[in-house]
């Protein structure tokens, strides 16, 4: 049985789909993951994926993507030949545009989570409970489609990961990841830098990570007290760096979920623009910091709509340093 599993947005979203993908892989002959360009690096890290199809969906990508007939015809051709398809989406997304393309490609059975009436586009219209963690929400769809949940429902990455001791000097450090894919979710850089100084003064080694476009930010945050790895790691290498950490400090962004996927505790600087019950780091010791009742709550804002960014600017560096000590000492979280 050839099964297409779709999760078309960012790195973190694709990582959160991992338990559902593993459930499908346990019973399918081949699993192909359909993802967008923003999630491709994470797709390559997911256990259970045999092949990846990358395509930028106009109804998913936050940038304005033109809708062109030739592009639509091309993806329909690439989607031919599957026995089943599961469309994994966030609570604010619809599976129906992709379901239509899959019908045009001849897919005989399609499942998805849909609040809207699907007509003949879905064979399985799953209706999950409210405020479920995203990995469990997607896993519930897979179970309803006949793919039982794996014994361990935590996030995972494909092994082996590259050795990064030459970059970090060996395990036992704290990772600070100041960047986010969405500005509204970022802790102020000066607070990140202060946290690095406090952690170093407490005897902790600190490694600062970031994308290649964030080198100026990571240099500022690392200062003279942290090791700046901004722009120096692939996603697989970042996973390895995170695995060697006793804790990671990050906003609501892909690397927080990557830390969870390698079993590293997370101090989560979480802006309430999306619900923490759904999007907080999953399956690891975790401290959630940030005003979850701030005016931006549930707004899904990409830019902070409130002067001064109070939901995260109110979090002090000493609070974050104290949270590191707490999560780093917690026993492993049992699988759900």
Q: Mind listing the pLDDT tens digit of every residue in the chain (336 residues)? A: 999 999 999 999 999 999 999 999 999 999 999 999 999 999 999 999 999 999 999 999 988 889 999 999 999 999 999 999 999 999 889 999 999 999 999 999 999 999 899 999 999 999 887 789 999 999 999 999 999 999 999 999 999 999 999 999 999 999 999 999 889 999 999 999 999 999 999 999 999 999 999 999 999 999 999 999 999 999 999 999 999 999 999 999 999 999 999 999 999 999 999 999 999 999 999 999 999 998 998 888 888 888 888 999 999 999 999 999 999 998 766 655
Residues 38 and 118 in one domain: yes
Distance CA 73, CA 290 (A): 45
Paired tokens of 311: 């939901």
Residues 138 and 185 in one domain: no
How much is the pLDDT for 244?
Answer: 98
* Residues sharing a CB contact under 8 Å with residue 305, sequence separation 6 or more, in sequence order: 184, 295, 296, 299
Residues 309 and 175 in one domain: yes
Residues 312 and 215 in one domain: yes
CB 197 within 8 A of CB 269: no
Residue 94 lies in a domain: yes
Residue 155 lies in a domain: no
Residues 172 and 101 in one domain: no
CA atoms within 13 A on the CB side of 236: 13
Burial group, residue 249, by CB count within 10 angstroms (0-12, 13-18, 19+): buried
How much is the pLDDT for 108?
Answer: 98
Residues 226 and 279 in one domain: yes
Give the H/E segment covering residue 215. helix 215-222
Domain count, the chain: 2
Residues 94 and 182 in one domain: no
Residue 334 lies in a domain: no
Residues 104 and 193 in one domain: no
Distance CA 246, CA 205 (A): 10
| Domain carrying residue 221 | 165-328
Kindly report whether the global pTM for this prediction surpasses the value 0.75.
Answer: yes
Domain end residue (candidates: 144, 179, 197)? 144
Distance CA 17, CA 141 (A): 11
Buried b (16+ CB within 10 A) or exposed e, 269-295: bbbbbbbbebbbbbbbbbbebbbeebe
Residues 185 and 105 in one domain: no
Residue 324 lies in a domain: yes
Residues 124 and 182 in one domain: no
Residues 227 and 123 in one domain: no
Residue 153 lies in a domain: no
Domain end residue (candidates: 144, 177, 206)? 144
The CATH number of the domain holding residue 210 is 3.40.50.2000
Rounded to 10 degrees, the C-alpha dihedral 228/231/237/238 comes to 70
Residues 134 and 264 in one domain: no
Residue 290 lies in a domain: yes
């Amino acid at each position: 049985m050839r099964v297409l599993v779709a999760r078309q947005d960012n790195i973190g979203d694709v990582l959160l789909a991992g338990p559902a993908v593993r459930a499908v892989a346990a019973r399918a002959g081949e699993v192909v993951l359909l993802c967008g360009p923003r999630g491709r690096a994470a797709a390559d890290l997911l256990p259970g994926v045999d092949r990846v199809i990358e395509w930028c969906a106009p109804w998913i990508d936050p940038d304005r993507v033109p809708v062109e007939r030739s592009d639509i015809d091309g993806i329909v051709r690439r989607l031919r030949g599957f026995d089943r398809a599961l469309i994994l989406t966030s609570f604010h997304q619809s599976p129906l545009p992709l379901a239509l393309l899959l019908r045009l490609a001849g897919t005989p059975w399609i499942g998805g989570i849909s609040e809207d009436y699907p007509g003949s586009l879905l064979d399985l219209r799953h209706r999950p409970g409210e405020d479920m963690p995203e990995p469990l929400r997607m896993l519930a769809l897979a179970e309803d489609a006949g793919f039982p949940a794996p014994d361990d429902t935590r996030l995972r990455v494909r092994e082996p990961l590259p050795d990064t001791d030459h970059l970090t000097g060996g395990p036992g450090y704290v990772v600070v990841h100041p960047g986010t894919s969405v500005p509204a979710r970022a802790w102020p850089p000066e607070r990140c830098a202060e946290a690095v100084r406090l952690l170093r003064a407490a005897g902790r080694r600190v490694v600062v990570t970031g994308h290649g476009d964030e080198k100026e930010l990571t240099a500022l945050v690392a200062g003279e007290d942290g090791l700046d790895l901004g722009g120096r790691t692939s996603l697989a290498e970042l996973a390895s760096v995170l695995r060697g950490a006793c804790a990671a400090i990050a906003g609501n962004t892909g690397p927080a979920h990557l830390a969870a996927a390698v079993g590293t505790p997370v101090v989560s600087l979480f802006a309430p623009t999306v619900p923490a019950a759904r999007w907080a780091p999953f399956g690891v010791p975790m401290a959630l910091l940030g005003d979850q009742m701030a005016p931006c709550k549930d707004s899904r804002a990409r830019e902070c709509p409130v002067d001064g960014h109070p939901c995260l600017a109110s979090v002090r560096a000493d609070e974050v340093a104290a949270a590191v000590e707490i999560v780093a000492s917690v026993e492993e979280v049992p699988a759900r």
